[in-house]
A and B are shown apart, each in its own frame.
Chain A
Amino acid sequence: MTDIKAQLDVLPGLDPRAPLLQVNDLHVEFRTRDGVAKAVNGASFWLNPGETLAILGESGCGKSVTAQAIMGILETPPGHITRGEIRYRGVDLLKVREAERRRVRANRVAMIFQDALSALNPVYTVGFQLAELFRVHRGASRADAKSRAIELLDQVRIPAAKSRINDYPHQFSGGMRQRVMIAMALALDPEVLIADEPTTALDVTVQAQIMGLLAELQRQRNMGLILITHDMGVVADVADRISVMYAGRIVEEAPVYDIYARPAHPYTRALLESIPRLDLKGQQLTAIRGLPPALTAIPAGCAFHPRCGYAKEPCRQDPAPPAYAVAPRRTARCHFFREVLGE
Chain B
Amino acid sequence: MFRYIVRRLLQMILTFFGATFVVFALMFANQDDPVQALAGEKPVSASLREALTERYHLDEGLLSQYWYYMSNLLTGDLGESISGREIGTLLEDSWPVTVRLSLMALVIAAALALGAGVWSAIRRGSVFDNGILAFTLLLLALPIVVLAPVAQWIFGMELGWFPATASRNASFYALLLPALVLATTVVATQLRVTRTSVAENLRADYVRTARAKGLAPRRVIWVHVLRNSLIPLVTLIGVDLGVLMSGALVTEGVFNIPGVGSKLAQGIRTEDGPMVVGFVSVLVIVFLVMNLVVDLLYAALDPRIRYE
Interface residues of A (CB under 8 A from B): 68, 71, 73, 102-107, 110-111, 113, 115, 118-125, 132-133, 136-137, 168, 170-171, 181, 184
Residues of A within 8 A of B224 (CB): 121, 124
Interface contacts beyond A105-B211, A111-B212, A136-B213: sample of 19 additional A-B pairs, CB < 8 Å, sorted by A = A102-B215, A105-B212, A105-B213, A110-B212, A113-B205, A119-B208, A119-B209, A121-B210, A122-B228, A122-B302, A122-B303, A124-B224, A124-B227, A132-B213, A133-B213, A136-B214, A168-B303, A171-B307, A184-B213
By beta carbon, the residue of chain A nearest B212 is A111
Residues of B within 8 A of A184 (CB): 209, 213
* B209 CB, min distance to chain A CBs, angstroms: 5
User: Could you mark each residue 34-75 of chain B with 1 if its beta carbon is under 8 Å from any beta carbon of chain A, else 0?
Assistant: 000000000000000000000000000000000000000000
Q: How many CB-defined contacts (below 8 Å) exist between A and B?
A: 72
User: Could you mark each residue 194-238 of chain B with 1 if its beta carbon is under 8 Å from any beta carbon of chain A, else 0?
Assistant: 000000000011101111111110010000100110000000000
Of the listed residues B214, B228, B304, the one surrounded by the most CB atoms of chain A closer than 10 A to its CB is B214
B304 near A168 with CB under 8 A, answer yes
A122 near B212 with CB under 8 A, answer no
* B301 CB, min distance to chain A CBs, angstroms: 7
In the complex, A137→B219 CA distance in Å?
Answer: 13
Closest 3 CB pairs of A and B: A105-B214, A118-B205, A106-B214
A121 near B303 with CB under 8 A, answer no
In the complex, A138→B301 CA distance in Å?
Answer: 27
Q: A168-B304, A171-B307 are in contact. Are A120 and B209 (CB under 8 A)?
A: yes
A123 near B212 with CB under 8 A, answer no
Residues of B within 8 A of A168 (CB): 303-304, 307
By beta carbon, the residue of chain B nearest A181 is B209
Residues of B within 8 A of A171 (CB): 307
28 A-B residue pairings within 8 Å (CB atoms): A73-B211, A102-B214, A102-B215, A102-B216, A104-B214, A105-B211, A106-B214, A119-B205, A119-B209, A120-B206, A120-B209, A121-B206, A121-B224, A121-B228, A122-B304, A123-B228, A123-B302, A124-B227, A125-B303, A132-B215, A136-B214, A136-B215, A136-B216, A136-B219, A168-B303, A170-B304, A170-B307, A184-B213
In the complex, A132→B206 CA distance in Å?
Answer: 14
* B41 CB, min distance to chain A CBs, angstroms: 55
User: Could you mark each residue 8-38 of chain B with 1 if its beta carbon is under 8 Å from any beta carbon of chain A, else 0?
Assistant: 0000000000000000000000000000000
Residues of A within 8 A of B205 (CB): 113, 115, 118-119
Q: A122-B303, A170-B304 are in contact. Are A103 and B214 (CB under 8 A)?
A: yes
A71 near B206 with CB under 8 A, answer no
Q: A103-B214, A168-B303, A168-B304 are in contact. Are A123 and B227 (CB under 8 A)?
A: yes
A106 near B213 with CB under 8 A, answer yes
By beta carbon, the residue of chain A nearest B205 is A118
In the complex, A133→B307 CA distance in Å?
Answer: 26
By beta carbon, the residue of chain A nearest B210 is A121
In the complex, A179→B303 CA distance in Å?
Answer: 21
User: Could you mark each residue 169-192 of chain B with 1 if its beta carbon is under 8 Å from any beta carbon of chain A, else 0?
Assistant: 000000000000000000000000
B227 near A73 with CB under 8 A, answer no
* A133 CB, min distance to chain B CBs, angstroms: 6
Residues of B within 8 A of A137 (CB): 214
A122 near B206 with CB under 8 A, answer yes
